[in-house]
Structure 1
């Protein structure tokens, strides 16, 4: 790892190259506008829209309020993405939240972000989505079985993770192409659900009675509303995925904003229409009693073609895991480049030009979390972690507005947008803790405290094993990886 002087990043040196990097070796700019749209939409559309409708309805208590929550989740994602777009113009580096916090608030806060992100955040996301993939992929082989064998489920989830690791190591272009194919399949499957609901409504068989009592029994508790947003925002998670790969985006100043303006409204519209379709076909009690809302919808509407729904969900979750791999490994790579992770993780393959060590590390952490994995607990835990990080990142933008008024900006959002996003972040972090404290929140707090100990021991005071340098040397030779320069 690097010395403290080398790590003391600030906004003014955001674009400097690392002197120790091998000249000319860097990640390729291979992501165009439509690939960026595909990446954002593909990361957002995962298992959530097929499983989370139950969670939102449980916490909100009424179908009308749940639809409002879905629409507001899309608005929150859009506002957050616009704030991130301005930050990416100021700090044009890969790494997303980590890079923005590092260049604004310095080393310690950035390390805490990367500590949570690389050890828990992204690996847990990969574990949760891959478990969903395994359940839907295995469902046709266990007809009528109320619960699948967990050993088989976790074996399939682990196989999914390992396969996608190999794809991402082999070629970023291949991983992007896979993302594009899966995104088309996801949008098509959601359109099938939307059209199916429309057909039921035109035929006069729709359950329109939910409109008469759309807001009956809506909860008034702030904590339950916050948990409903956790469930809904889980389905929108991934709106910031392109920020992790800024150094691989073609014409980033223009393509980033366009990609966000196309992808997020598209996904929001599809989500709201899909939820309306669910409510037209299934009663609220049927939705609440089903862990797989889309499958139950398919069994009632598609008949002998109902197998298309598990297939669509499996493809959707497979693509989402791929998207998380693409973004998550780049954050690990960027942090290692700054000295907040072992330097070996900042290297890329000399032939394929992919961050192979970072991908392998992310895979290893995800495989560990697959073993005890529980989907619902992971969702709430990740949402809590995410909104702590989002709030800290949005505060970077407000701080820079005050501190660097005269800094040239190629893109700027109205000030009220980051203010609204910061207030939303505070609400989503504090409301569930105050109204409904859970042990998971205490675990997060204790894990965050352990980050201070790790930082001062290994980063600040440089207490590192002497064998680390030798291990790095041998791993470099074995995996054919080398240091990099930053891509401007």
Structure 2
């Protein structure tokens, strides 16, 4: 129904119009504030870190690879992916298609090998899968954070709705096919891992697929790190693509510096926004404490996913007669809203951590920038030469002069 790029940001922006005019853009602004500075670059960095681990790990058999080498290779991955996306949308799409096929071939190899082991009766580790289960509501929510983080990216196409051909058909079709396919792949792959690896082995391994390959494939085990490296490179490409589009959409609405909404005059790629996302991802890579960020800020992600479900309900009430290409039963957004509330609230009530307070403060600290720069439209004249320099150096201009592909 809403064909703007930006996913949750765009939907919260439209639903916010039901609020008083002065408050309407705040939910969308806070969503972009957290997503642009933490969530999207963090996803980009974590995936690239996976690439670095699987590329370096084969050169250090039997021991953990040096963190500095892993980070260096990860940063090279980030820069390579950014270069592809900055060059052209069509190249980024071709790269995505190629590496998706490589990913599916790697998964097929692991699943076939796993089920072969299963046919030989290797069910020891599968049968003990639910031993030592905890019923702590906070621990369950934190476990869902890590599990659902693996699925993050399910909404990447929504960030580029304006660039899709026939989005009314292709967007829902991609989501309806993609998410069940990924779910089946994850489930089958984990079953395959548990045919030869215990829970303890899974937790100790820095490269689980490579450890599985050593146990099952023998001399051909090198295929697995190579395949996973290809897979993570493709996933990083998707994360960069989505992150750049979110920055572009927020800047176009005046929620970020205008120069970030400019696009290349010939290639129609959002060059400044892609470079901005890349820079933040590299900065996150340097300290190396990315997985703590996942736990702390996943509750922020689900806060905005839940808000988006609320936006669905608001728009059904305020826009009852608008054409909807497809529609799901109302109980589905209500159910996801309740689940989101649980994932946000349970860890805080059951096991309060100072990190959650820091994350909450960070979320609402965006209001200190919202008031002067969005409401009062404060502009610093001394930055205008910098904007001109960026325009000339990158050959970019406002999107109205060169709309995206």
TM bracket, shorter-chain basis: over 0.9
Q: Distance in 1 between matches of 2:268 and 2:394?
A: 12
Asked if 1:398 is matched to 2:313, the reply is: yes
Q: Is the CA contact 2:53–2:207 (under 8 Å) kept in the aligned structure 1?
A: no
Q: Is the CA contact 1:128–1:378 (under 8 Å) kept in the aligned structure 2?
A: no
Q: Distance in 2 between matches of 1:238 and 1:252?
A: 18
Q: Distance in 2 between matches of 1:185 and 1:175?
A: 15
Q: Is the CA contact 1:125–1:382 (under 8 Å) kept in the aligned structure 2?
A: no
Q: Is the CA contact 2:103–2:227 (under 8 Å) kept in the aligned structure 1?
A: yes
Within 5 A, what are the aligned runs for 1:6-155?
Answer: 89=1, 91-105=2-16, 106-146=24-64, 148-155=65-72
Structure 2 counterpart of 1:207 = 123
Structure-2 change in CA distance of 1:450 and 1:187 (3 Å): same
Q: Is the CA contact 1:182–1:316 (under 8 Å) kept in the aligned structure 2?
A: yes
Q: Distance in 1 between matches of 2:105 and 2:210?
A: 16
Which of 326, 347, 364 matches 1:411?
Answer: 326
Structure-2 change in CA distance of 1:214 and 1:473 (3 Å): closer
Deviation string 1:259-318 (CA, Å, 9 cap, x unpaired) is 111111111111111111122222233323333322221111011111222212211211
Unmatched 5+ stretches in structure 1: 1-88
Structure 2 counterpart of 1:355 = 270
Structure 2 counterpart of 1:236 = 151
* TM value normalised by structure 2: 0.93
Deviation string 1:165-200 (CA, Å, 9 cap, x unpaired) is 111111111111111111111111111111011111
Asked if 1:268 is matched to 2:195, the reply is: no
Q: Distance in 1 between matches of 2:297 and 2:208?
A: 22
Structure-2 change in CA distance of 1:256 and 1:475 (3 Å): same
Q: Distance in 1 between matches of 2:330 and 2:218?
A: 51
Partner-residue secondary structure (3-state), 2:34: helix
Unmatched 5+ stretches in structure 2: 17-23
Q: Distance in 2 between matches of 1:367 and 1:487?
A: 26
Asked if 1:172 is matched to 2:83, the reply is: no
Q: CA deviation at 1:487?
A: 7.1
Say which structure, 1 or 2, has more relative contact order (CA 8 Å, 6+ apart).
1
Deviation string 1:335-367 (CA, Å, 9 cap, x unpaired) is 111111111111110111100011111111111
Partner-residue secondary structure (3-state), 1:354: coil
Structure-2 change in CA distance of 1:348 and 1:209 (3 Å): closer
Q: CA deviation at 1:464?
A: 2.2
Asked if 1:388 is matched to 2:303, the reply is: yes
Which of 185, 189, 193 matches 2:110?
Answer: 193
Partner-residue secondary structure (3-state), 1:340: coil
Query: Cα RMSD over matched residues?
Result: 1.7
Q: Distance in 1 between matches of 2:327 and 2:112?
A: 38
Structure 2 counterpart of 1:86 = none
- Paired positions, count: 396
Q: CA deviation at 1:398?
A: 0.8
